[in-house]
Chains A and B, each alone.
Chain A
Amino acid sequence: MKSYWRSLKELEDPKALRIQEAREEAKQKSLLHKTKGSSTANSRRDFLKTLGFSLAATSLVASCKRPVEKAIPYLVKPEEITPGKANYYASAYYDAGDYCSVVVKVRDGRPIKIEGNELCPISQSGTSARVQASILNLYDGARYQGPQQAATTISWSDVDAEVTKILKEIAARAGRTVLLSQTVISPSSKKIIQQFLDSYPGAEWIQYDAVSASGILVANQKSFGQRAIPDYRFEKARVVVSFAADFLGTWLSPVEYTKGYTAARKLDDGQREMLRHYQLESQLSLTGTNADVRFPVKPSEEAGIVLALYNAIAAGRGGEQFSGPQTAVDVSALADELLAARGKGIVISASNDENVQLLINGINQLLGNYGETILWDSALLTKQGLDSEMEQLNKDLLAGKVDALLVWGVNPVYDQANGAELAQAIQKLKLSVSFAERKDETAQVCQYILPEPNYLESWNDLEPKAGQYRMAQPTISRLFDSRNVQESLLAWCGSPQSYGDFIKSVWEQEHYPKQSTYSDFRLFWNYSLQKGAWEDPRSASLTYNDAWLAEAAGKLTNTKSGLEVVLYESIALGNGKYANNPWLQELPDPVAKISWDNYASVPVDYAEENGLQNESVIKVNGMELPVFIQPGQAPDTIAVALGYGRSHAGKVGDGVGKNLYPWVGEANGGRQFYLEKATIEVVPDAIYELALSQTHHSMEGRPIVREANLDEYLLKANAGNEIRQEHLKHSVTLYEEMDFNGHHWGMAIDLNSCTGCGNCAISCQAENNVQVIGKEQVRNRRIMHWIRIDRYFSGDPANPEVSHQPVMCQHCDNAPCENVCPVAATPHSAEGLNQMAYNRCVGTKYCINNCPYRVRRFNWFQYVNNDRFDYNANNDLGRMVLNPDVTVRSRGVVEKCSMCVQRIQEKKQEAKVAGRMLHDGEIKTACQQSCPGDAIVFGDLNNPQSRVSKLFRNERNYHLLEELHTLPSVGYLTKIRNKA
């Protein structure tokens, strides 16, 4: 009877049987199957929820309402795809100056995760939080679905016809067409742009970076005759002095720099020396938190200090000294140290003032750092935009001197100070085209919106550093009717061609002949594609020209009095382009631990004097901003992040925070990211709620992050960790400790290598389907991140020392949480994992209370498919990012770090099928894989040769709250500072 019923039900729905509709449906479903694995999956998950409630009812009334699942095989199975197995494709991320080589994990035709590409010497296996989150940009509902003109859909052929016509008209009457793009690092694209410029006389190309390296470029032009950024090799450095350059967070190539920086600070393999890092900055940046010595200074004070440092070093090296602005800061010790480490130092500045950069170049030159730690062999090409050009274009636009504007990847209406006027000017243009992939303020005012595909959907080649070529390949067929900008440009030049073919021909003509390994272009191409990279090593040494120094010193600005507002890129949002990415919005700022807002970081003293609390409101130059009292904020300054306050970013990003770009000024031909002489006014009794995910900043003297200075460490390897002996002495047990026969998974975290960048949190979020919960819930302290980075301040509140500590489930062998679950939802596995069976959990939350580390997360609401949480998990498109190997948790269950058990299982399966043992390092957790600092090591503690076992035997190793005898499987290596 049963099967009869069921088969009837399958035919019951008369709609499905209307032939036409049935065919349509079949077509759609087959499409869905290829692209959206999760849409059906989620509806079934609801079943769990309903199960208990309507037990009898469903069983009797609708006992046969079992949802019929279809299984649709491939018609013709692609060779490389095995259902249920992931494919990995090498590709490259480049946006807004951030370059990163990546490997894209594709499951059943859908990219679901970004991993670092180990074969790339630039980013190595590291990524940044923004790169990790870029996978979600692909599935962003704010993406344009097809070309449109004045908000109506239009076909590509019509576009080509119309645009070409207008462009020709303009060219005919010698009008001015401007292609405004962000820095283009694609050699092929550059060729195409050139082709375009050639076919339309009067057309010009301007590269514009919202947060530019203009000062460096101009200074290097003057000092070295090359408008480029040199290659900083932090791994070779012994002393690093950074003037407000957040090189571990946002400055130029942070992933690469983090790799080098942490490599120079590692002590886990018997190293006896490490890099010393000085940071002079106003707001406490991520880099500042990692500095050994940090000086809070005002932005306007910086020039004076740079000059003083130059003079001190020049004095030491017998060079010429210059007069200029004075400073009260004594830099003699710093200069001495740099002089002592000649050829092993790096001095950098984030200033966009070319004069400051010229002095910095002078310092590095005097110290002999060029050729040692700062190389010109492969200059960094990721930021090429000159602020002066954009400034000129801005003026021309307002003056009506431009006829056509093609905007590609930039958003001047949002990030230029006079955005509103610019918008009006653009609307008046004869032709305005935006190639925006997703909604933005500039596209909003353009006539044509010709969406380009996401980087995961298209071919590209990149040259992030001179001579280092990278390839990006499509990992999914285009979700929307988009077209590469390059193809549009080619079409408008009258030589339509696919961009992929174009790249291939460029590679065939330019790169293939330069190598000798492969005798066949096809092999060369496949090899490059597989690796994602091809290197054409160059060597260059440029001659230094100090002629400009005296002039530069004279032009330096004096320290100003009055309050200054520092504008900086936040770690999560950068310049704000991807403000519609809920993962990034929810990533707590590494320093303030605030998500979903920008805020005014206020010095502690100022707050005390004015009676400010966190979440108070101040009015800065008339703009109301919420207050966060930031220890380490330089006196007389406040800092506010850029990239917020988008008005046309999409439903997630709109109206989050305030747009601070209007305050970006101009000085010496570069954009100046601070505001002088700001007026500040306390708004009495006003409260603006901030989503703080950590509210207590002191360790209260507890041995949580254990640290020592290098000299102590050199004397005694367990410096700072002495208490461990004490704890081990008291470690007794009534019960015998459990044996783990096979594996015993463990993880070691080197606190010396963790910079706190937050990459792991997003990587974990992508891997483990961690849900976004929104500002209100984050504020309610319900953030879902499985790995959180605890940040503690210690010492002087005006200039604190900072410790970052990633905390995830410690997988204790004597886990207090396991013991208290009444329903046996969280027992211990035979491999030492603290397991969490979501389907068994009834949500008593007892385990949350009994976890001394508070790493368990509760699903307070249904976060998936709930209009109240209208983020990526509330629509089919956004849910495509879900990892099919990890359960999407329903409301009312507890979840936590599983040490990426799906990855463990996958690799074990591979080994078992192959009949071999697992190699150490074969399994990498998501947080580990892309950690730019290589701070996380995962492995088998039962294998004495594994890296994690070795680290566990390291004298620096300790376990968090070891005195509770929880026997964690996660160990931490003490943090060693290198204070003078």
Chain B
Amino acid sequence: MFVLVFNLVICQITKDITKAKRMKRPTLVNPKCRLYLLASLFIFLFICSNAARVSASGESSVVDGHSLEDIRRGERFFKGLLPFNFKGESCVSCHNILSSDSLNWNPSAMAIAIKYAGRDFESFKASIEQPVGAMLSQKHAGIALEEEDLKAVKAYLDNMAMVGPQPVKPSINQLLIFLFFGMLITWALLELIFFRKIKYRIIPLIVLLASLGYQGKVINEEAIKLGRSQGYAPDQPIKFSHKIHAGDNGIDCKYCHHTAEDSKSAGIPAMNLCMNCHVIVREGSQSGKFEIAKIVDAVDNKKPVEWIRLHNLPDHVFFSHAIHVGSAKLDCQTCHGPVEEMDLMRQHADLSMGWCVNCHRETDVKFQENGYYQTFKNLHDQLDKGDLQAVKAQDIGANDCMRCHY
């Protein structure tokens, strides 16, 4: 809808410009036209600024006694731009500014910033120069930094903890392309109807159809995606790796997600469950102490960890793990994919209704094994007679609306 409006605005502008040309106005941008331009500019900015909400508030002020100078210096140092003669790797080569989509086991600058925001400089310095954990000692071995630099880095990190990271400019390519095609459509229409400059009418026609097709495709795809999030793999507050736990260490899924068999919800393990092991295991093979320390911290401070929820069904869908795991004995991997290979947990299936429904069409019910199905006398008879090869989930009503929507 919005795009439509935008196209219209653009169309208006073009029209006005052509009108202005025809009328031989001295200036291209007549007042009315300027209004349109301003409006469209405003809208455009609005879109862009959506992501790029500038957090200018923190920049202008002096934070926690650190001058802006310090903060900038710290940032440049962290990013390896200062000092020029520094031989070792820069901080940023190991520590991402933000967590990113590919798993970097080392804590991000943001994570460090948050952890050390409330602590003094000495503890910060100690963590770098006299690290406690084995892994950290190994990685940080041989780092010798000027105290001044470290202070600057700390200032930079403190500031980051206060105001948040500088937002990375979002890619608006798709949007731009979409708008570009919108303009193409406008042009093609105008050309076809009014200008008639191009001899081969087929060209604007093709352009028109192709652009419309592209826009339609994008809208369709995005509309479907709107409620979907296949592949969603957000950063979690703790870099928990299912690969290490379920894969390498072979912990059974249901050890942690122990309500999966008899409750609707599989359950996220309570922190005290983590502590069953981590009371002993205090240093991970990948992340050292940093991540595990968060669990301990959470338990000590009675501050539960706020995981980012991956598998979100709409509110009108009621899914029960108990039926699928407890009764149908499905493997977790059927829906959640090769979790034991995922460092960063991601949504494997698209969780669309079609996905559910089609699985119900193909999956056999544990018809003989489960005593509940004695109720289905007819189907048992047919199975015995051989009229029926297998009972699929949909044969016992798994695809009824009110199995999931009520």
Contact = CB atoms under 8 A, between A and B. Distances in A.
Interface of A: 1-8, 10-14, 17-19, 22-23, 26-27, 29-30, 41, 44-45, 47-48, 51, 53-64, 66, 68-77, 82-85, 739, 741-743, 825-827, 829-831, 833, 835-840, 885-888, 898, 901-902, 905, 908-909, 911-918, 940, 942-943
Contacts of A56: 1-4, 219, 222-223
Contacts of A905: 318, 320, 403, 406
B379 to A, nearest CB: 6
Contacts of B3: 56-57, 60
Given A5-B170, A19-B114, A54 B1 contact: yes
B112 interface: no
Given A30-B304, A61-B2, A837-B402, A7 B223 contact: no
Contacts of B53: 12
Interface stretch (B12-20, B281-289, B366-374): B366-374
Contacts of B352: none
Contacts of B98: 7-8, 11
A77 B99 contact: no
A835 B400 CA distance: 8
Given A11-B110, A56-B222, 7 more contacts: A5-B170, A27-B303, A56-B2, A75-B272, A830-B397, A835-B402, A943-B375
B263 A7 contact: no
A69 B305 CA distance: 13
B180 to A, nearest CB: 13
A55 B270 contact: no
Interface in B248-274: 259, 261-265, 267-273
Contacts of B312: 69
Contacts of B405: 835, 837-840, 887
A914 B100 CA distance: 44
Interface residues of B, number: 97
Nearest to A13: B164
Contacts of B55: 14
B352 to A, nearest CB: 13
A44 B376 CA distance: 38
A1 B175 CA distance: 14
Contacts of A73: 267-271, 304-305, 307
Interface string B224-236: 0111010111110
Contacts of A1: 171
Contacts of A838: 316, 405
10 contacts: A3-B231, A12-B164, A19-B114, A44-B315, A60-B222, A75-B302, A741-B395, A830-B397, A905-B403, A913-B326
B353 to A, nearest CB: 9
A831 B405 CA distance: 15
**Which of A29, A64, A76 has most chain B Cβ within 10 Å?**
A76
B51 interface: yes
A48 B259 contact: no
A829 B101 contact: no
A742 B396 contact: yes
Contact of B226 (A51, A71, A835): A51
Contact of B376 (A63, A741, A898, A914): A741
Nearest to B2: A57
Contacts of B227: 47, 51
A11 B164 contact: yes
A3 B314 contact: no
A48 B227 CA distance: 9
Contacts of B318: 885, 902, 905
Interface string B381-406: 00000000000000111001111011
A7 B323 contact: no
Contacts of A13: 164
Given A10-B308, A60-B175, A901-B402, A77 B100 contact: no
B234 A6 contact: yes
Interface string B271-306: 111000000000000000000000000110011111
Contacts of B306: 26, 29, 70-72
Contacts of A61: 2, 47, 50, 175
Given A10-B235, A829-B400, A84 B406 contact: no
Contacts of A829: 397, 400-403
B401 A3 contact: no
B259 A84 contact: yes
B267 A83 contact: yes
Contact of A57 (B1, B232, B272): B1
Contacts of A830: 396-397, 400
A827 B401 contact: yes
Contacts of A18: 162-164
Given A12-B51, A83-B259, A75 B270 contact: yes
B232 A48 contact: no
A14 B272 contact: no
Contact of B309 (A8, A17, A69): A69
A742 B400 CA distance: 13
Nearest to A831: B397
Interface string B40-56: 00000001001101010
Contacts of B305: 72-73
Contacts of B131: none
Nearest to A15: B164
A913 B370 CA distance: 8
B310 to A, nearest CB: 8
B356 to A, nearest CB: 13
B400 A3 contact: no
Contact of A53 (B1, B101, B321): B1
Nearest to B353: A839
A917 B397 contact: no
A837 B218 CA distance: 29
Contacts of A836: 401-402
A68 B371 contact: no
A22 B326 CA distance: 38
B185 interface: no
A826 B379 CA distance: 26
A59 B375 contact: no
Contact of A909 (B99, B320, B369): B320
Which of A839, A916, A943 is packed against the most chain B CB atoms within 10 Å?
Answer: A839
Given A7-B100, A913-B262, A17 B164 contact: yes
A943 B264 CA distance: 27
Contacts of A59: 219, 222-223, 225-226
Contacts of B88: none
Given A12-B167, A75-B271, A918-B375, A70 B309 contact: yes
A765 to B, nearest CB: 16
Contacts of B174: 60, 63
Contacts of B337: none
Contact of B270 (A17, A70, A77, A916): A77
B153 interface: no
A26 B114 CA distance: 14
B161 interface: yes
A608 B47 CA distance: 69
Contact of A3 (B234, B262, B375): B234
B163 to A, nearest CB: 6
B400 A60 contact: no
Nearest to A29: B306
A610 to B, nearest CB: 51
B168 interface: yes
B165 interface: yes
B308 A68 contact: yes
Contacts of A3: 101, 231-234, 346
Contacts of B374: 917
B67 interface: no
Contacts of A914: 372
B272 A77 contact: yes
Contact of A2 (B51, B223, B231, B308): B231
Contacts of A909: 264, 320, 322-323, 326-327
Contacts of A57: 1-3
Contact of A68 (B170, B234, B402): B234
